[in-house]
Amino acid sequence: MGVIVRRALLILTPLLVAACGGPQPAATDPASGMTKVNAGVIAIVDTAPIHLGKAKGFFKEQRIDLTITPVQGGAASVSGAVSGQFQFAFANTTSLLTAKQQGLDVKVVANGVSSTGEQGKDFSAVLVEPDSPIKTAKDLAGKKISVNQLKNIGDTTVRASVRKAGGDPSTIEFVELPFPDAPAALQSDRVDAIWVVEPFVSQALSQGARAVAWNFADAAPDLTVAMYFTTSRTDPGLAKRFTAAMRKSLEYADAHPDEVRDVLKTYTRIAPEVITEIYLPKWPVDVNKASVQTIADLALTDGVLTEKIDVSALVP
Total of domains in the chain: 2
Q: Give me the residues paired with residue 211 across strands.
A: 127
Last residue of a domain, one of 184, 219, 254: 219
Number of residues written out for the chain: 316
Could you list the residue range(s) of the whole structural domain that residue 43 is in? 35-114+222-313
> What's residue 74's pLDDT?
85
Considering the domain architecture, whether residues 245 and 203 belong to the same structural domain is answered as no
Task: Kindly state whether residues 147 and 207 are assigned to the same domain.
Answer: yes
**DSSP H stretches of helix in 57-138:** 58-61, 74-83, 93-101
Question: Looking at 153-223, which runs of residues are DSSP E strands?
Answer: 173-176, 193-197, 210-213
Q: What is the mean pLDDT of each run of 10 residues along the chain (316 residues)?
A: 40 38 63 91 96 98 98 90 97 95 96 97 97 98 96 96 97 95 96 96 93 98 97 97 98 98 96 94 98 96 92 91
Give pLDDT, residue 27.
77
Of 167, 193, 219, the residue that ends a domain is: 219
Whether 15 is covered by a domain: the verdict is no
The domain that contains 128 carries what CATH number?
3.40.190.10
Burial class (CB in 10 A: 0-12, 13-18, 19+), 5: exposed
Q: What's the pTM value of the predicted model, to 2 decimals? A: 0.88
| Rounded CA separation 305/230 (Å) | 21
CB contact set of 157 (below 8 Å; sequence gap of 6+): 124, 215, 216, 218, 219, 223, 295, 298
* Same-domain check for residues 74 and 128: no
Q: What is the pLDDT of residue 32?
A: 76
